[in-house]
Amino acid sequence: MARYLGPQCRLCRAEGVKLFLKGERCNTGKCPIKKRRGKPGKGPRARMKKLSDYGIQLREKQKVKRIYNMLEKQFKLTFFKAERLKGITGENLIILLERRLDNIVYRMHFASSRNQARQLVSHGLVKINGRRVNIASFIVKEGDEIELKEKAKKMTFVKESLKEYSRSGVSPWLEVDPDKVWGRVTTIPRRNDITDLQDINEQLIVELYSK
């Protein structure tokens, strides 16, 4: 599957906020956002130009797309799927993104970033209900159990990532046993449960795609 291979910090600079594309490493002093580095591209005056309504909507979409490490076609297909579901389209979109397998692996602290979680999935190192699944965009359901293969449980970066569980815990809709490197989706998340995306205005994305 195609994916972005360029410098990740450049994406954070483009949006002007931390997207945590490198996980906890983004909290180090090397982060370009902490250093107040400007946006990439043209000169400072061009970058400070006031955005139009379309520009604001586009930036919000780009921000969410980059947080979940997706390319345009896949993100748009997820939006259309959210549009067909009952309820508020914007909230459906965020919830579908949260239910992606690569995101679940990241949320359970089996990986330190979504990109790292996607590698675990694509290499066939993740099991759902005892069966190997290597599709990062797989949508988990309530009650699904996620576990890493024995080979993956011994990996150094997995052990390091699980240390974050003891520091910050896990989302309220997930259950994790760090010793077994096992987790379960206890319920489908609600929009309010996704606390690190409270600054995201998903309605702007709906407006963009409705044009």
CATH number of the domain where residue 27 is located: 1.10.1050.10
Q: Is the pLDDT of residue 206 over 90?
A: yes
- Strand 126-128 versus strand 145-148 pairing type: antiparallel
Look up residue 189 and give its DSSP letter.
P
Whether 40 and 83 map to the same domain: the answer is yes
Residue range(s) defining the domain that contains residue 61: 8-97+196-209
- Band (11; pLDDT cuts 50, 70, 90): low
Whether 181 and 165 map to the same domain: the answer is yes
SS3 call for 70:
coil
| 141: nearest Cα among 189, 177, 108, 107 | 189
Distance CA 185, CA 202 (A): 24
The pLDDT, as a whole number, for residue 19 is 65
Q: Is residue 34 part of a domain?
A: yes
| pTM over cut 0.75 | yes
The pLDDT, as a whole number, for residue 110 is 97
| 113: nearest Cα among 2, 3, 1 | 3
18: Cβ–Cβ under 8 A, 6 or more apart, which residues? 12, 26, 31, 33
Whether 49 and 91 map to the same domain: the answer is yes
Distance CA 114, CA 177 (A): 20
Whether 87 and 110 map to the same domain: the answer is no
Least confident of 7-21, 148-162, 179-193: 7-21
Whether 69 and 35 map to the same domain: the answer is yes
Q: Is residue 142 part of a domain?
A: yes
Distance CA 55, CA 135 (A): 32
The pLDDT, as a whole number, for residue 1 is 46
Alpha helices by DSSP H, listed for 48-188, are 53-67, 72-84, 89-98, 101-107, 114-122, 150-153, 156-168
Number of domains observed in the structure of the chain: 2
Q: Is residue 181 part of a domain?
A: yes
Q: Is the pLDDT of residue 200 over 70?
A: yes
